[in-house]
Amino acid sequence: MSWDNDDEARKRMRRYLGDFIPEEMIQQIEEMMERMMSGMNQGAFLDPEKFQELLRNPEGIHPMTFGFSMRVGPDGKPMMQRFGNTPGAEEPTLEPLVDVVEEDDEIIIVAEVPGVERDEIKVKIKGTSLTIHADNPERPYHKVIELPSKVKKDEAKSAIRNGVLEVRLKKA
């Protein structure tokens, strides 16, 4: 059975992902599914070399990493945060999973950036925005985070350990 002809499967996927993923990414998922299904029909999953070729994505559709985390915000309301590939980027860009913890006198940002070395990470603060960017060709992370308040830029401290970046900022 072809993915193209399975309208019910397509509707279920759109219903499930529609609130979280832009239309452009849903179309990419559908194209990838069609290629995978046609690869299955041609025995790609039985031949490791064909399977690897399918995963390499020769047609330029980037593999997708996507997820979301849910937590309760300080106001008691649930907050949902997306992470994964940045839609519409010319180069594949990963959006790390980030937690922002606000304490009395400081803000702590914890970001998951596995596979990235300390010298590949750039953290910039501008106003109430913090940007995390990793200059790593295999793991190009990028995320802009709105901070809950102004911070003292010159007192920022950061550390990376086991793929987890922690940035501590004193409130202004």
Res 115 pLDDT > 50: yes
Residues of the chain with CATH 2.60.40.790: 67-170
pLDDT in tens, 6-38: 667 667 766 766 666 666 777 777 777 776 666
Query: What is the rounded average pLDDT of the residues 147-166?
Result: 94
Supply the pTM of this predicted model: 0.54
Q: Measured between alpha carbons, how far is residue 130 from residues 41, 92, 146, 148 in Å?
A: 47, 21, 6, 11
Q: Measured between alpha carbons, how far is residue 112 from residues 7, 50, 154, 162 in Å?
A: 37, 32, 24, 9
Residue 10 backbone phi and psi in degrees, to 5: -65, -45
Distance CA 120, CA 116 (A): 6
67-170: what CATH class? Answer: mainly beta
pLDDT averaged over every residue in the chain: 76
Instruction: Name every residue whose Cβ is closer than 8 Å to that of residue 116 and which is 6 or more positions away in sequence.
Output: 134, 136, 139, 141, 160, 163
